[in-house]
Structure 1
Amino acid sequence: MRVLRTSPVRVLGEGDSAAVHALLDADPVGNVFVSSRLRAAGLNPGRLGGELWGYVEHGSITALCYAGANLVPVNAGPDAVRHFAGHARWQGRRCSSIVGPVAAVTDLWQRLGPYWGPARVIRTRQPVLEAEQIPAAVVPDPLVRRVRMSELGILLPACVAMFTEEVGVPPDSGDGGALYRARVEELVRMGRAFARIEDGRVVFKAEVGAATPHVCQVQGVWVHPDLRGRGHSVAGMAAVVQAARAEIAPRVTLYVNDFNTPARAVYQKVGFREVGEVMSILF
């Protein structure tokens, strides 16, 4: 591990927990994904399923980089990004995406692209939205509810369809879908998968993919293709926001592709407003 001994980057462990969470809590919306993962699994790489790298300046951890299925920089300025990129190059690509603040991800990709590229998709700007007040004219769909474990077989095909539409490749192309199914099952078991299901078919669905006591992040919003244009997305999202605020976290967020005009219109109708932006590199 010579690289770690001669670099300000080191792999963090449980002894760093207080400093890590203080850094993450400084931006609870922007850091909700990493904070949620660490709250659920801790900092031990064996349980985390990845590593958390810390950038140390004058004895203090000033930036982080989550290195798991995603590579996610946190509070990383140019010096931290340079060192994180060097360590990532040394380790080799193990992630399926790089996601995070636009400036940091742009810098990371400029440094890693010649070695890890080409990327399959680059999404240069994805607005981060937070739900404010649901307009009085929007009535939450009373038929949107938590998905039951017995309905996993109904929900999973809808999740696969949504993922494929969004990312461009099916989530079960590598291992037959075992890991993806396990993740969907986990969200159902945790009460963070919501749907309107009629006659054995998903009409609308969304999941809360990340959550802390302060903030949660919605993902996987999808309406059955045969039923689009009927208002299910607006009423369904209002129901998810209402339930999430009451039972998961008081602040509800998500991020969306800037070119997805229909989705952005839906979120605006439900009361979401832009509070930041991220960038994604997909492999």
Structure 2
Amino acid sequence: MTRWGGGLGGTRSDLGAATDVDLHEALAVCDRDPVASVLAASRIEATLAESGRRAGTALWGVRREGRLEAICWAGANLVPVCDPDDEEALDAFARTALRQGRRCSSVVGEAGAVLGLWRRLEPSWGRAREVRADQPSLVIDHEPLVAADPFVRLARSDEIGSVLPACVHMFLEEVGYSPVEGGGTAYESRVRALIAAQRSYVRMEHGADGPQVVFKAELGAATRHVAQVQGVWVTPGRRGEGLSAPGMAAVVQLARARVAPVVSLYVNHYNHRALASYERVGFRRVGTYATVLF
């Protein structure tokens, strides 16, 4: 579904990609495929809203004949946004990344661009902890096909004591280590920020130890076009009860009503249960993501 424009002409540079890219021009590049580029576009839109200034060294660009053709967001994640066959752009991004050194925890985005960039970086950066090369990218732009769970709602700030442990458990299952080991507060700050931004959805129930999250999901990235769902999780003791599809249907309804007309997500290709659940809700595949984890 990628719709990149422009040829590969232009003068090849050994200096890498340009930095201090104009944010409005960068968004125009992202608009060529809003689903594939949502991770980068969400950071660009946030930077515009926060400061209205350029992103400095956090945004790289490749320009041809006066036109910005490809970009790469370089923050906690490295997110290339370009035609996967654009060897010149991928070479430029790799040179810039190698010059700056690895500062990211992952390379993520459209699979062709991510894997092409990683092939250039791996000889210097060394083996990744994991490469997830086939993550179906799914979207829904209509009402869900199953009834929404009426108990799924936005999380409240006073529920952080229940929401944070659920997020930590999800992260541990998905990535393989705890995001709070070592006593860091960055992950908790991220969870609090998502709740404050009204992008954290939960179904809460009262258990023996008080309120607990039985289903949750977040909008990890959102633009004016697309809201990308991340962190979908059902508490282990309630799995197999059919909470996932109605929960996701509720998230889709709430996100489309308040955030963006299209809801997207990406999932590991081997997670057949999740793929079947999302298909029941009405998601369809439009592409492939990849993630390189360090």
Q: Normalised by the size of structure 1, how large is the TM-score?
A: 0.92
Measure, in 2, the Cα distance between the counterparts of 1:146 and 1:256: 23
- Tell me how far 1:45 sits from its aligned partner: 12
Cα distance between partner residues in 2 of 1:231 and 1:245: 22
Q: Which residue of 2 aligns with 1:34?
A: 40
The two structures, once aligned, show a CA RMSD in angstroms of 2.1
Match of 1:113 among 122, 125, 132: 122
2:260 to 232, 249, 252: 249
| Alpha-carbon contact 2:16-2:94 (below 8 Å) kept | no
Distance 1:10 1:184, change over 3 A: same
Which structure: greater helix fraction?
1
Post-superposition offset of 1:24: 1.2
Deviation per CA, 1:252-279, whole angstroms, max 9, x where unpaired? 0000000111111110111110011111
Counterpart residue type for residue 65 of structure 1 = C
Could you say if the C-alpha distance between residues 75 and 243 of structure 1 is closer, same or farther in structure 2, counting changes exceeding 3 Å? same
Which residue number corresponds to residue 7 of structure 2?
Answer: none
Once the two structures are TM-superposed, the CA of residue 25 in structure 1 deviates from its matched residue by: 1.3
**Within the alignment, does 1:227 sit opposite 2:238 as a pair?**
yes
Paired position in structure 2 for 1:187? 194
Tell me, yes or no, if structure 1 residue 131 matches structure 2 residue 113.
Answer: no
The answer as to 2:160 corresponding to 1:156 is no
Listed as ranges, the matches of 1:198-209 within 5 Å are: 198-199=205-206, 200-209=211-220
2:79 maps to amino acid: V
Sequence identity of aligned pairs in percent? 50
Q: Which runs of 5+ in 2 are unaligned?
A: 1-12
* Alpha carbons 2:37, 2:110 under 8 Å: kept: no
Contact residue 11 and residue 51 of structure 1 kept, 8 A? yes
The 1:187–1:50 alpha-carbon spacing in structure 2 relative to 1, beyond 3 Å, is farther
Contact 1:50 1:69 in 2 (8 A): no
Moved over 6 A (4+): 43-47
Matched, 1:24 2:24: no
Q: Deviations over 1:38-88 (max 9, x none)?
A: 111239799969610011222321110111111111014111101111111
Cα–Cα, structure 1 residues 226 and 47, in superposed 2: closer, same or farther, change >3 Å? Answer: farther
CA distance in 1 between counterparts of 2:227 and 2:56 reads 21
Number of corresponding residues = 275
User: CA separation in 2, counterparts of 1:6 and 1:214?
Assistant: 35
Asked whether 1:69 is paired with 2:80, we answer no
SS for the counterpart of 2:233 is strand
* Inter-CA distance 86–8: structure 2 relative to 1 (3 Å threshold): closer
Structure 1: which amino acid aligns with 2:25?
A
Q: Distance in 2 between matches of 1:56 and 1:102?
A: 22
